[in-house]
Structure 1
Amino acid sequence: MAEQASETAIRSELQDLVLESTEFGEFLNGFVNVAARELSEHTGRTIYSAVTLLRPKHAGTVASSSEEAQNMDEIQYGFDDGPCLRAARGHTTVLVQDFEAEHRFGNYTKAVIAHGIRSALGVPIIVEGAVDAGLDLYCREPGVFDPATIAEAEKFAVQASRSLRLAVRISALEELSNHLSAAMENRTTIDLAVGIIMGQNRCSQETAVNILKAASSARNIKLHAVAAAVVASVGETEPATHFQA
């Protein structure tokens, strides 16, 4: 019963993180701190935690529970290899019992040892679609990640997957909303610039649009930037659209 209550409390805490975080990075930071706390309590050792999120058209997103975890993940990205990246890409748990006896990661291993880290565990987190995620756990002592600890980490990853999926979806919707807002603002500026050109040159809307496009092409400047310059040239500031996402 106590174990079930603990699992319910963790799920609730992660769900609250999704609802209360004002941005995606804030959720990830809270997420790794919960992971570090839970696994440290389970092992009786200090566990450093980080998470890697790999999304199409995005740089890898990394959040770390500590400076030590951040350093380890920066090393992973520098070598483009390591337990967390392999776990995320291969959707399988990757264990390093002792880096001093490890031969799978080449020079990455030496770099990790130089920072005093002896063991690590990469656990995949199932998100959705083309998104890959991995939870990375580090310790300064070897042999910390025994079968019971690995099972605990994998169970945490399963618990966390739903909250992470929701956070990814919300982040994607926010990005879409921002893109739509920017598109509407750009459209408003362009329409105003077209009107200014029509008035100044006594030409049709089509001709005014072609003038804007020709200036954009000749100067190798985006159409919106040319339109903004036209608006500014008559002493106007860029108009604010009333569109709200």
Structure 2
Amino acid sequence: MTDNQTFGDISLPGMLQDMVLESSDINEFLDGLAILAADTLSSPDIEVSCGITLLRPRARATVASSSEHARRMDEIQYEFDDGPCLRAAREGQMYVVADFTTESRFGEYTAAIIDHGIRSALGVPIPLDGLAAAGLDLYSAKPQVFDEEAIAAAAELAHEASKSLRMAVRVAHAADTSQQLRSAMDSRTTIDVAAGIIMAQNRCSHETAITILKAASSGRNIKLAAIAAAVVASIGQPLPETHFDS
């Protein structure tokens, strides 16, 4: 296995920090991390593939993979809602599978993963201090691959990755919050424009116009913003956008 501390003249922490800064989003960072983990834990005789699961509140699970095969192996975990990586992420503890043919902890998932040629696996939690939950999932077609040396290397990689992943999660959270704010403001602007149209058409107050919009929303079981957008579109106007100073 390669040295998990340095890559040429570049330290692992420095490499991970550069990956965060150079990635366009958290998905790209996680894909790079998965490839790095697979390369780090593989050897000339043993190929290791890697998947990463990131669980964030109020967001869909983010899955990254070092290869198409690794992606499919992670999909099997989601099909059964169980597996070393999911448990590592959810429970914050490591799961070592020396040989799936003698494994009994994962129910029907075990037979499915064996059918895809996987014999051993290692699920390593990536600590994120409550910001999110993440797990590193390492697979091999050979049994007994993840010995003490491999486990120590994977644990060290997860520890170092956690520092950079915290940063990436914070950036992603800020971006999500900004997008939600923009969406909310755009919806509010559209509702106000629609209310103005109703006021002009019916010579009523703003309060009455909002009441009309809410009644239509409730009666048709359609979101208020969608009703407002339909009102604006009905007079041939483009939907208004809210602009923010950068």
Quick check: TM above 0.5? Answer: yes
* Equivalent residue letter for 1:106: G
Deviating 4+ runs (over 3 angstroms): 2-8
TM-score (norm 1): 0.93
CA RMSD of aligned residues (A): 1.9
Secondary structure (helix, strand or coil) at the match of 1:27 reads helix
Give me the identity figure in percent: 57
* Equivalent residue letter for 1:160: A
- Structure 1 residues 201 and 5: CA distance shift in structure 2, 3 A: same
Q: 1:80: Cα distance to partner?
A: 1.5
Asked whether the equivalents of residues 122 and 137 of structure 2 are also in contact (C-alpha less than 8 Å), the reply is yes
Distance in 1 separating the partners of 2:90 and 2:172 = 21
Distance in 2 separating the partners of 1:3 and 1:71 = 26
Task: Please list, as runs of the form range in 1=range in 2, the aligned pairs for 1:48-67 lying within 5 A after superposition.
Answer: 48-67=49-68
Instruction: For residues 60-113 of structure 1, give each alpha carbon's deviation from its aligned partner in whole angstroms, at most 9, with x where no partner exists.
Output: 221111122112111111112111112112211111111122222222111111
Given the alignment of the two structures, is residue 221 of structure 1 paired with residue 222 of structure 2, yes or no? yes
180-189 or 95-104: bigger deviation: 95-104
Secondary structure (helix, strand or coil) at the match of 2:11 reads helix
Partner of 1:184: 185
Partner of 2:158: 157
Q: 1:169: Cα distance to partner?
A: 0.9
Asked whether the equivalents of residues 53 and 89 of structure 2 are also in contact (C-alpha less than 8 Å), the reply is yes
Distance in 2 separating the partners of 1:217 and 1:105 = 46
Q: 1:58: Cα distance to partner?
A: 2.7
Q: 1:5: Cα distance to partner?
A: 4.1
Instruction: For residues 182-222 of structure 1, give each alpha carbon's deviation from its aligned partner in whole angstroms, at most 9, with x where no partner exists.
Output: 11111111111111111111111111111111111122111
Asked whether the equivalents of residues 127 and 133 of structure 1 are also in contact (C-alpha less than 8 Å), the reply is yes
Given the alignment of the two structures, is residue 170 of structure 1 paired with residue 171 of structure 2, yes or no? yes
Partner of 2:47: 46
Asked whether the equivalents of residues 189 and 227 of structure 1 are also in contact (C-alpha less than 8 Å), the reply is yes
- Structure 1 residues 106 and 209: CA distance shift in structure 2, 3 A: closer
Q: 1:223: Cα distance to partner?
A: 1.1
Distance in 1 separating the partners of 2:123 and 2:115 = 19
Task: Please list, as runs of the form range in 1=range in 2, the aligned pairs for 1:1-245 lying within 5 A after superposition.
Answer: 5-6=6-7, 9-41=11-43, 44-129=45-130, 131-244=132-245
* Equivalent residue letter for 2:190: T
Asked whether the equivalents of residues 181 and 244 of structure 1 are also in contact (C-alpha less than 8 Å), the reply is no
- Structure 1 residues 164 and 3: CA distance shift in structure 2, 3 A: closer
Q: 1:229: Cα distance to partner?
A: 1.3
Structure 1: which 5+ residue stretches go unaligned? none
Structure 2: which 5+ residue stretches go unaligned? none
Distance in 2 separating the partners of 1:187 and 1:36 = 47
Asked whether the equivalents of residues 4 and 12 of structure 2 are also in contact (C-alpha less than 8 Å), the reply is no
TM-score (norm 2): 0.92
Is the helix fraction higher in 1 or 2? Answer: 1
